[in-house]
Structures are given as structure tokens and as C-alpha cells.
Structure 1
């Protein structure tokens, strides 16, 4: 009987931060299945925590067998189902009229040398490869849209009052549009999935320096030490994954 050992190592953590009363983030860390997720809930603590928890719990139950395309299809199907559920059933039974119950999601799937990143919202996926940091995901936010349309410079966008307004999230609208990026991976590649609470307080140089450390655990510890050294106004979540 052949036993396959995952070539991937990972470490994951979430923290409430210094300001929030509760944690609306959730994560999934399943290196043996080649699946990692960060979800950042929205709509008040109870609703946000429910939405992010539903995402990670449902994705954790998906079968791990099959090729990358098949598994990506399952993740998409699961997230579209949750989008309908959060948008319809849960909204109707909630105490307040028409509350928002939603969550960002960023998921990473790996299969041998191939990987796929799937996301909606502003939780991010970064790749550290051969001394360079790449942001693989593109924020689904009003500010990113304004930058893309050349209406704002990145510096102006950072100061924009609607900087955190999302244009996509699971549960936020009737039709969920997911972005998917497939790519080859190489030995030594390090990937980071994180909520906006983590990356907003760290410069790209600081992210890269942390991801360059010898182990995923050390990288994760450095990221949280740096983020919690700052104001940490939001919940913080991160998964560091290395091949």
C-alpha cells in the first residue's frame, strides 16, 4: 500500500486583535488534503462569525480526491450554495430586518506541482518566491475598483473613506462571482493567506521578511508579533504554507 506524504507544510493562527469585542475570522489548515482557507466575516460579530464559520466548516467536508480542476469545481459549488443560503434562509430568520450576513473568502488548493487560489472579497493570497513577494489575489473592494479605473492613485485610495467597502463577498449579493487563479509551484515557494486585519498593518517588505524565515511556524509568529505591535484594530488571521 502506497502512503503519500504531503510535500506541503503549514501553520495557521487567528487573533481577536486589540479593539474588536469578538473574532469574526475563521481559518482552515489541512495540509494533508492540500486545502487552506481564510474567511473574514461581516455584518456584526454574531452574523460575521456565523458566515465565516459556515464557510470553513463546509469546505472542510469536501472530498479531497480527484484532480485539481475537479476539486476547484467542488469549492466553487460549495461557495455558491453558501451564498444562496446566507442570502436567503439566514437573512429571513434573523431578528433584524435585512441584516448583512456575509464573509470574504480566500482558499488555496494544491495538487502535486499545481495550485489554485479562489477568492471573493479582500482577504489576500501572497506568494514569496526566490526573494520576491507577489500578491496573487486582487481585492474586490471599491477602492481597488477606483484604482483600476484610474480614478484614484493608490496613495489617495488608502485615505479614501470607503477604503474597506467590498464589491464582492459570500452572502453579500444574489450572484456570487469568484476569481480563480491556477499556477505552478516550486520547491521553496511560500504562500500566505490572510485577512485584511493582518496585511493592512504590515508593509510588503515586512511580509516578505517574515515569509523568508526558515519555517512556517517562525514566519507566522513574526507576522503576528509585528501586527500586534501595531494598533491591531481588526481581527487578524493568517495561514503560511510552504512547499
Structure 2
């Protein structure tokens, strides 16, 4: 059985099309939680982002997942965590959920399908997780616009090749880019993904680059700052 252990929780990922990775973990760790009482996790997969936000004190996290096997696995991970009373997973299309949602969210977070067209995988679950066929960017942004509180924030992780088109589309869906963090493995590498933060209001754009490793498999100070309360390798340091 494939299980990834963190300091305070574990993630079973036997059914997961997309496994726990450093990019996604950093993405969840960077999301600010101040003022966020209600959080929505779109396409939760294993439930990783929801679990991380619950650990950081969010009072209520709703995770929505289209794939039934992934939703069942996320539910297992939630029940096995110390915050089961604050986490719930719903197996649904986010567009259908949005039509019946009774309250808006302070923070919406999403690590969506990364790949399109030319790189389709033969495995159906992996294809669903890797392609935006099931949830085109315009549908995602419009849906988020309808679910976000007036002062709410939308956090989105994207591959670099998809960033510009989504950023250009966002204003027509009521969202404006306020922060962009390009994430690269080493200082010598080009960034492969970007963590984006959108808000309803226009304002100054904060841009930065985060380097994961300072040398071979040794985390940079920035990475350690975000991951020190999560990864087991930092557990003894925190004691």
C-alpha cells in the first residue's frame, strides 16, 4: 500500500492518479490561512491540500472530487487524521456542486489537471487528473467566481505553459491576479510551475521565485520555512 507520512497525518494514495509531490506540498504550505474560516478544495485527489489547511487551523474544509475512487481515498485520509470533524469530501462535479452550495468560501484552492491534448495517458484515472478536458479553465474560473466571498482568495497551481492564458482569461471571470510565485527545483533550473493567487479586487501584483533545493536534495531556506511543520525530515529539528 502506498502511504506518504507527514509529521501529523498520513496520506494513503493507493487509488490516486497523482501522488504526493513537493510542488503540491509547497503550494498548500504557502497558502495564507488568516481570515479563512471556510475553505473549498477543488479536485482534492488524496485530500493532501485539505489536510494541510486543517493542520494549519482552518475551521471548515470542503473537498470536492469528481473521481469516485479518489473521493473514497480522500474520505479515508480525512477520517484517519486528527481533524476529521473539520473535513468533508463530496464526490461531485464542481459545477454541479456550485449550483447547490448555500454559502461562499473565504479561500478556494485548486491543483488542477496539468496536461492537455498531446500527452494523454492511457490510464483513465491518470488522464482525468492530468487533463482539463473535464473542467476547462473558463469553467473553473467562472465556478470559483460564484463560490468566493467578496474578499476571498483563489489559489491555483499551474504548469508554466498554462499560466499566461489563464491569467489573461481571469478578469473576464471576475478574478484578478494578485500574487505569482514561480517554483523551480534548483537555481540553475527554469520554473516548471507557478502558484497563483487571485482576488476580486484589482491591486499591485507581487511576483517572486521560490527555489526548492539549494543543493542536491538539500532544501533551501525558503522551502524549509514552509515545510518545517510538515515533512518528517524536519521533525527532530522542531523538537
Task: Specify the TM-score bucket, using the shorter chain as the normaliser.
Answer: 0.3 to 0.5
Q: TM-score, normalised by structure 2?
A: 0.33
Q: Which has the higher contact order (CA 8 A, sep 6+)?
A: 1
Structure-1-length-normalised TM-score: 0.33
